[in-house]
Structure 1
Amino acid sequence: MYKKLLKRVFDLILAIIALPFWFIILVIIGPIIYFQDKGTIFYNAPRLGKNGEIFKMYKFRSMKLNAPDFRNEDGSTFNSEDDPRLTNIGKFIRKTSLDETPQLLNLIKGDMSIIGPRPDLPEHRELYEGNEERKIEVRPGVTGYNQAYFRNTVPWKERIQNDIYYIDHLSWWLDIRIFFKTAESVLKREDVFVTDKDNKSNNNTGL
């Protein structure tokens, strides 16, 4: 009942309640992003959704225009506090997770859930092995089990197995625990950035 219906109802209710507060963030953050390099405010990233459907995930743009794409050895996106691609405001919104707040629009559209596996890039589906495609059995989340308890400290393949654990144990109580643990880690700004620069590699697929 919760997984099939109530989870979606709760997503919509909370997103609609949060929307006016997000508009305030947009009015403050949006012009700062634009005037730093006269670029677009949003970054619309293609991502894998439920059952493999591709959707546009909305974020505030935190990187400079035409920034190159860095990847870790496992194919996941490179993320570091001293990343030269980040704008000044980009560093701040990454640290505070404000760059993720436009995903309220994805919640309302039904692309995402508040809690769920973080969505992968479309090309990552080709790298799934064994049971890893189970990750796309549910809507991806704005936050999830990995983000709450590990942030960016575990490899991509391990994150997928954590996502499958979440799917197998999905419940109202688990979502509540993840929600408050996420809030705690965001407020403490724990493990926001990956510090191992040696894991990055270049490709042409975009961030």
Structure 2
Amino acid sequence: MAKRCLDVLVAASLLVLLFPLMLGIWGLVRLRLGKPAFFFQWRPGLHGRPYRLIKFRTLAQRCDEQGRTLPDEQRMTTLGGWLRASSLDELPELWNVLKGEMSLVGPRPLLMEYLPLYDRDQARRHEVRPGITGWAQVNGRNALSWRERFQLDVWYVDHHSLALDIRILAMTVVKVLRREGISGQGSVTMKPFRGNE
């Protein structure tokens, strides 16, 4: 209950305080990347139940001659790179928090297609709501291997508390200012999870 109260209080306050900034980012994305300014995608939430995540779009809509979408590395723009490096693309997720689909702190929501690839221990990351930031994010973010990331997610599930959440939020501010762990090795974000083999 205390965690949910913190989520609602902080998310509602930030949505009001940061509305001018979010409006400005929306305008920049529309101007530089075109429509839509928001990126929507189904992600697994608490107990793996799907919900619709919302972020600012960071990738250009570019395709090859056959009409297939180009890799992220070829669609990343200067604006998109800046939004990701500053984590400003994540601000619309405060709405997901307010709706109860996410928490401020928890394992980052990954792709629906990863669900059948987890082993039993890795799947435990869905025993709590996904978060805008999390224990893995403040301990390496996208620079971690998938195995390391899942281990940190499960550690959080076993040890989460209000005090730990406040600590993670404070650490997140430092990490964002230092722009650490934004990209995985050889990728502008994180290489896709292919399973445990």
Q: CA deviation at 1:194?
A: 2.2
User: Relative contact order, CA 8 A, sep 6+: which one is greater?
Assistant: 1
After superposition, the C-alpha distances for 1:155-199 in whole angstroms (9 at most, x for unaligned) are: 1232111111001011122111111111101011112122425x8
Which one of 53, 57, 62 corresponds to residue 58 of structure 2?
62
SS at match of 1:84: helix
Contact 2:184 2:191 in 1 (8 A): no
Contact 1:49 1:136 in 2 (8 A): yes
Contact 2:47 2:127 in 1 (8 A): yes
Which one of 116, 123, 131 corresponds to residue 106 of structure 2?
116
Alignment of 1:1-207 (within 5 A): 5-66=1-62, 68=69, 70=71, 83-197=73-187
After superposition, the C-alpha distances for 1:43-97 in whole angstroms (9 at most, x for unaligned) are: 0121110011001111000000256364xxxxxxx7xxxx331122111111100
Identity of matched residues, % = 37
Q: Any stretches of 5+ residues in structure 1 without a counterpart?
A: 71-77, 202-207
SS at match of 2:119: coil
**What is the one-letter code of the residue matched to 1:124?**
Y
Q: Any stretches of 5+ residues in structure 2 without a counterpart?
A: 64-68, 193-197
**TM-score normalised to structure 2 length:** 0.88
Q: CA deviation at 1:14?
A: 0.5
Paired positions, count: 186
Cα distance in 2 for residues equivalent to 1:150 and 1:28:
29
Cα RMSD after superposing both structures = 1.9
Give the stretch that moved more between structures: 123-132 or 60-69.
60-69
Cα distance in 2 for residues equivalent to 1:37 and 1:24:
20
